[in-house]
Amino acid sequence: MPSSIRVPLVAVVLIATACAGDSDPAPGGTGGAGTAGGNGGTAGSAAQGGSGGQPVGGQSGAAGQAGGTSGAGGTSGAGGASGAGGASGAGASGGAGASGGTGGSIADAGMNEDAGTDAGVPEPDCQDGKVVHFVYFVEAGEPNSEAQRADVESQAFAFQQYWYDQLGVTFHLNYPVVDVIEADHDADWYLTTPDGVHGDDERWYRLGNVKNEVYEKLGIENFDDNHRVVNYPTTRHDGHVGGNFGGAWMDGDDLTCIADNGFNYPYGDGNSAHCIGHVAHEFGHVLGLDHEGPNDDCMQFGFYTDDPNDLCSFSEDNVAQILADADNEGWFEAMPGDTCVGL
């Protein structure tokens, strides 16, 4: 990887359950300040700690700010646990591109081409199950493209297969697979409007605002017991991606890279990430992982690559952790291709 690799910042603010600091690991490079944690939880939820600050890359990464204020009726936020700069970012040599095994590329990942929304749609494999929604989030004024919706659907099946390859088990996709959401606002609104979640930390307004609208329209809650989300918006904004609240919140170029088994550029610094590796990383947070594992793990630097066959994997320890996490119990009861009408 080029020595110019810089730091992806993917922070997460968890609400209502656990809280954990988050940042995307970055190969060593310029350090920077961590991002602040979020604010307290919303009424009716348990306390929410702010997320830890983001250790961002190099040895000089400044400590992240502490977590946010306490949530209503709960304990105070405990963010900042991972805010020590550089904890996982001190890889002097970068380390991207060293990823080991692959779980199958997009091209061979078992897409179910029959699973369209038109005639010939197969029946769901179950009713009332725990499901992962793939959302095509079309900001106002942006084209609602059937081709892009189909890309999201293909990615959904590839992603389901990916986790099967990693864990030996996988989740049900929702039925229909893709939720197309015609958003209430244009892209700028999500970027600039306080989201009620992240205080005055504008960097996360988009994530919070999109999350709020998606969950409202799907009728689900933060860290919903029966629903997880992978969201693809139509527009791109450098670095405004991340995972949690029970969802992976991707960027516009995560969507456009789907069509050609390609790459995206999470942070506008010229460093490419694998189209599936990136979403796997964010979903790894949804499954309870922090930035842990070997350097080439998907939860570390493994998703940075410019090789389409270099799809990152999860270490044995990370796999074991996912499978042992009580919050993931009941989620992995499907085979690749299975869909279910969500609860």
Tokens of residue 329, six digits = 């119990």
Report yes or no: 251 and 218 within 8 Å, Cβ to Cβ. Answer: no
State how far the Cα of 22 lies from the Cα of 36, in Å rounded to an integer: 11
Residue in the structure block whose two tokens are 């977590």: 67
State how far the Cα of 66 lies from the Cα of 155, in Å rounded to an integer: 36
Q: Of 9-17, 179-187, 216-224, 253-261, which segment contacts Zn ion by CB under 5 A?
A: 9-17
State how far the Cα of 244 lies from the Cα of 282, in Å rounded to an integer: 8
In the bound complex, what is the minimum distance in angstroms from residue 281's beta carbon to Zn ion?
6
In the bound complex, what is the minimum distance in angstroms from residue 318's beta carbon to Zn ion?
13
In the bound complex, what is the minimum distance in angstroms from residue 302's beta carbon to Zn ion?
12
Q: Interface with Zn ion includes 10 (CB under 5 A)?
A: yes
Sign of CA dihedral 111, 221, 187, 142: positive
Q: Which is nearer to Zn ion, 24 or 297 (CB)?
A: 24
In the bound complex, what is the minimum distance in angstroms from residue 258's beta carbon to Zn ion?
20
Q: Which is nearer to Zn ion, 130 or 281 (CB)?
A: 281
Q: Which is nearer to Zn ion, 303 or 331 (CB)?
A: 303
Q: Which is nearer to Zn ion, 35 or 174 (CB)?
A: 35
Residue type, 336: P
In the bound complex, what is the minimum distance in angstroms from residue 284's beta carbon to Zn ion?
7
Cα→Cα distances 23→48, 51, 139, 144, Å: 18, 9, 26, 31
Restricting to residues 16-55, name those near Zn ion by CB under 5 A: 24
Q: Which is nearer to Zn ion, 15 or 273 (CB)?
A: 273
Residue nearest to Zn ion (CB): 24
Residues lying near Zn ion in the complex (CB under 5 A)? 10, 24
